[in-house]
Amino acid sequence: MAADPDRLTALEIALTHLELRVEELSDVVRDQGEVIDRLRAEGRVLALRLAQAEAALPDEAPDPNQPPPHW
């Protein structure tokens, strides 16, 4: 039974390493969630600005047979 204390120690060490990794992964997930939230907010702002720019465009399309103004 001499190996039992060594085995228990090895398991405790492995558990400690796993707990550390879980904390690190939790931090990564939290950080990524913050980035996603920020990107969603920026996407909403850009969508609003695009809608405003589209609303400001003239309703009529230019005549395709008319030469450009610099001619």
55-65 pLDDT, tens digit per residue, is 998 887 777 88
Q: Is 64 a domain residue?
A: no
According to the model, what pLDDT value does residue 67 have? 83
Q: Is 33 a domain residue?
A: yes
Note down the domain range covering 39.
26-54
Largest CA distance in the chain: 97
Q: Is 45 a domain residue?
A: yes
Q: Is 61 a domain residue?
A: no
Q: Is 47 a domain residue?
A: yes
Given CA atoms 34, 40, 41, 42 in this order, what sign does their dihedral have? positive
Mean pLDDT of 46-58: 93
Angle at 12 between CA 10 and CA 18, to 5 degrees: 105
21-45 pLDDT, tens digit per residue, is 999 999 999 999 999 999 999 999 9
Domain count along the chain: 1
According to the model, what pLDDT value does residue 2 have? 54
Q: Is 40 a domain residue?
A: yes
6 band by pLDDT with thresholds 50, 70 and 90: very high
pTM for the full predicted model? 0.64
